[in-house]
Amino acid sequence: MVLLIYFNVLLPTDADKNGIFLPLQNLCCEVVHRLQVIGGRVTVVQGATVTLPCQLTDSKETLKQILWQRSTRGRPLKDNFFNILEKNGKYPIELTDERFRFVGSFTEKNGSLQLSKASLMDEGSYSCIFLLLESGNHKTEVSLHLLGTQYFTWFLIIEILYFSIFFPS
The reported pLDDT for the residue numbered 156 is: 63
Say if residue 14's pLDDT is above 90.
no
pLDDT at residue 4 above 50? no
The CATH number for 37-151, chosen from 3.50.30.60, 3.30.2310.20, 2.60.40.10, 1.10.510.10, is 2.60.40.10
Average pLDDT of the segment spanning 113-127: 97
Residue 151's pLDDT band, with cuts at 50, 70 and 90, is low
Other CB atoms within 10 Å distance of the CB of residue 70: 24
Distance, first Cα to last Cα, the chain: 49
pLDDT digits (tens, 9 = 90+) for 36-49: 777 889 999 999 99
- In the prediction, which pLDDT does 24 show? 44
- The pTM of the full predicted model, rounded to 2 decimals, is 0.67
Q: Are strands 100-102 and 113-115 parallel, antiparallel or unpaired?
A: antiparallel
